[in-house]
Amino acid sequence: MTLKVYGDYVSQPTTAVLLLCLANKIDFELVPVNLRTGEHLGPEFKAINPTGQVPVIDDDGFILSESTAILRYLAVTRNVPDHWYPKDVKARARIDYLLDWYHTNLRQIAVYVIQKELGPTFWKIPRPDEAQLKPAQGKMTASVEILEEFLLKPEEGPFLLGAPQPSIADLICSCEYTLTRYLPQEEQEELLGRRPKTKKWLKALEKTLGRHYSEINKTLPELLKLVADARSSG
């Protein structure tokens, strides 16, 4: 039975799961769940995942949610190359560390971007003022600074923690960074312009997985236009 992935391209955790599948030729069927219309909060989807969150997989009747759990599960059950999720206990522990760090740190990018751009555009949440945005912006800035200063070691290797090849942690963290494209251009330049290691890391991933990145981001131009139009209209 073909693996089913319930999700939406606007969800960065969903795109990380899709990216792992595409990069490793894991056969899957994407079952669209439209976050912009609130489909994820409806009874049909909540019967699959009561939390109303994507992604969710159905692997021949085995239902699993939470993107990092899904990434680990697929890496093990589909016997992907070892660099994605190493069998060595210590090497695997480092990937687990990065996945846990992502949830409590880098995921702040989503909090900030949703408050500032996606919420007002897609869910008609009132656009917050600068003071209301400041706490989320501060947490986001702190997390991207940790990524730049401590987790990227280009002198050792191009990927997270200086690895020579990408892991599932690179996928989830890089997809999260994609959210910054929804921000105004000057803010994007501020985030990457002062962080050359992050910029180099993202380019290395794009070079390694280029056509797959194009696939998961195929709806991005349309979404970016919707956000820009909403921003200009106030």
Q: CATH number of the domain that 36 lies in?
A: 3.40.30.10
Which CATH number covers residue 92?
Answer: 1.20.1050.10
Directed axis angle between helix 89-101 and helix 168-178, to 10°?
20
- 222 shares a domain with 120: yes
Q: What is the pLDDT of residue 77?
A: 97
- 6-61 pLDDT, tens digit per residue, is 999 999 999 999 999 999 999 999 999 999 999 999 999 999 999 999 999 999 99
- What is the Cα Rg of the chain in Å? 18
* Residue 117 and residue 75 share a domain: no
pLDDT on residue 210:
84
Q: 146 with 218, same domain? A: yes
Residues 13 and 122 in one domain: no
The answer to whether 97 and 37 are in contact (CB under 8 A) is: no
Which value, to the nearest 10 degrees, does the dihedral of the CA atoms of residues 119, 122, 127, 131 take? 20
Domain boundary among 47, 65, 82: 82
Same domain, 116 and 144: yes
Total tally of structural domains belonging to the chain? 2
Instruction: State which residues of the chain have pLDDT below 70.
Output: 234
In contact, 216 and 210? CB cutoff 8 Å: no
Same domain for 95 and 64? no
Query: Are 119 and 22 in the same domain?
Result: no
Are 63 and 123 within one domain? no
Whether residue 125 is found in the same domain as residue 184: yes
Determine the pLDDT at residue 234: 67
Q: Which of 56, 82, 108 is the last residue of a domain?
A: 82
Q: Which residue, among 188, 211, 208, 169, has the nearest Cα to 13 in the 3D structure? A: 169
93 and 124 housed in the same domain: yes
**What's the DSSP call for residue 63?**
E
**Residue 232: per-residue pLDDT:** 86
Among 32, 51, 82, identify where a domain stops.
82
Question: What six digits make up the tokens of 136?
Answer: 């989320």
Residue 101 contacts by C-beta under 8 Å, 6 or more apart in sequence? 146, 151
Q: How far apart are CA 70 and CA 62, in angstroms?
A: 11
26/134 same-domain check = no
Q: Residue 66 sits in which domain range?
A: 3-82
